[in-house]
Amino acid sequence: MTQTAMGLFPVSYTVTTGLEGAPALQLNLLVNTPAQKITGTADITNDSIHPPLKMHADVWGTFSYMTVMGPGSRILISGQGNHGGPTSNSMVFVKFHLIVEPNWNTGKGSFSYFYNNEWHNIENATVRLNPVFNLPVGPGPVIPDNSSYGKPYSVMYGPAIQQAIAQNSPLSELKALAQQAQQQLDNLPALQAGLAALHVEIGKLTA
């Protein structure tokens, strides 16, 4: 496992309303946690129409935490897709916005696709994790050996700082790591408040 590989993990979702005749979006994504970017593929299908709908796209986008608490918050994933990716001249014909839980397993979302010369919008869809999938984005899961699938890797700044110093990392990388660590420290009061609220909720459910 190399240092540059850490912070990458694969995830696959099916996004659909579940209504009869509704299209489904399947996303196979590689999540780059340090850069907060996603890349991968999308497939939109609908077997209830004639001819059956089958669309494939290369997708890219970003993700962000929805509160200053960072990890532990719900996550907004936004992306778009075409044939060939962001550097191609192909028009964008797929767009999606997902809000998933902190464990990345479930959520809600919407997606749009351009078909028969018009945009089709699917709202209030359910986001469901696909536990078994084949990703077309590389040699397989890029997760540290001490992580388990379904628990995305998060940077632990103490070991990361020690490793960066030991490897004589460039000044720019050290400054970036220092900034990330400072942001985590700055968010500590919000994290403590959130943890206190979580313990209250746990107490209610336990009672």
Output the CA angle 138-87-116, nearest 5 degrees: 95
Mean pLDDT of the chain: 78
More confident residue, 191 or 203: 203
Task: Tell me the per-residue pLDDT of 129-165, one tens digit each, with 9 for 90 and over.
Answer: 997 654 444 333 344 434 333 333 334 445 556 666 7
Residues 6+ apart with CB under 8 A from 158: none
DSSP 72-96: TB-EEEEEEEESS-TTS-PPP-EEE
Integer Cα distance of 56 and 25 in angstroms? 10
9 closest CA partner among 111, 116, 115, 154: 154
Q: Which pair of structure tokens corresponds to residue 1? A: 């496992």
Are 127 and 111 in contact, with CB atoms under 8 Å apart? Answer: no
User: In 3-state terms, what secondary structure has residue 184?
Assistant: helix
pLDDT attached to residue 73: 82
pLDDT beyond 90 at 109: yes
User: In 3-state terms, what secondary structure has residue 101?
Assistant: coil
Integer Cα distance of 26 and 196 in angstroms? 37
pLDDT attached to residue 3: 37
Task: Tell me the per-residue pLDDT of 27-75, one tens digit each, with 9 for 90 and over.
Answer: 999 998 888 999 999 999 999 999 999 999 999 999 998 876 666 789 9
Radius of gyration of the chain (CA): 19
> Tokens 């299209």 correspond to what residue?
23
Estimate to the nearest angstrom the gap between the alpha carbon of 96 and the chain centroid.
Answer: 12
